[in-house]
Amino acid sequence: RHGAEQHCVDHRAAFLRELAHVEHHGLFGELLAGLQDALHDLICLVDQNGLIIRANRTTERWQLRSVSDVRGLHMHELVHPGCESDDCTLALAIPPRSLSDNARTSQATIVSDQRLDRILSIRTSINPRREHSRLSVGDASVVVVISDVTALHRATEDLSNLNDTLERRVVDRTRDLQAANRNLRLEIERRCTAEAALQASRDELVSLSQQLINAQEDERTRLSRELHDSIGQSLGAIKYT
């Protein structure tokens, strides 16, 4: 464990020495430019008129223009060459039209660009001019970062559509289950009613059977009494004759 901690300390110290070397020899701008060129986002330094001072190599990856030909070009002209529409959503989201006297330091806009068939995230950062800063970029007062978020938005839309489909299925299934439960309750009530009626019929049959048995017993008793009286009278008559 101590060896791993020492390795981390040595690695950090080496990184700080390399960073100090870069700053000392004025290579920080080159390092930053290299990092910007490696990004997939379109990053431009523009003045307050919207003219490009520098852009990264995403201009070439997006097949817009060579990175060496964009200086002095308007951002809108770079992304939408030949576009003259006054209500172009992209033009409204980038300098100079995105800037105003009360503009926030940082702004973010999502634009669905029909011309490029892309969904773009446009972030604008206003950097106050710092005369005494060693990292000042002169007249470059705005940083514009344009990200292609088409895949992300389409995935989000697909996920949203899938969620909507699942929700509709859940609603339909819930409605079917509720209907099945209602039918089941009705069937249970019907069976309970039928069983109650059957039990009442059974009770009535038992009662009728008992009444029939009692009637038969009464009839046997009456017949026995009549036979007894008749035989007694007959025997009395024979005795006295």
**pLDDT tens figures, 184-235:** 999 999 999 999 999 999 999 999 999 999 898 988 888 888 888 788 777 7
pLDDT of 38: 65
Edge-first strand order for the sheet with 106-113 is: 52-55, 42-46, 142-148, 118-126, 106-113
Q: What is the Cα–Cα distance from 51 to 43, expressed in whole angstroms?
A: 13
Instruction: Tell me if residue 157 falls in helix, strand or coil.
Output: helix
CA angle (234 as vertex; 229, 238 as ends), nearest 5: 150
If phi > 0 it is left, if psi is from -120 to 50 it is alpha, else beta; for residue 121 that is: beta
Is beta strand 52-55 parallel, antiparallel or unpaired with respect to 106-113? unpaired
If phi > 0 it is left, if psi is from -120 to 50 it is alpha, else beta; for residue 55 that is: beta
> Structure tokens of 70?
């964009």
Residues 6+ apart with CB under 8 A from 146: 41, 42, 43, 44, 79, 94, 120, 121, 122, 123
| Amino acid, single-letter form, for residue 83 | C
pLDDT of 97: 63
Q: Say how many CA atoms lie within 13 Å of 144 toward its Cβ.
A: 34
Give the residue ranges of the chain where pLDDT is below 70.
Answer: 1-38, 96-105, 127-141, 241
Angstrom CA distances, 47 to 59, 96, 210, stand at 18, 8, 112
pLDDT of 33: 55
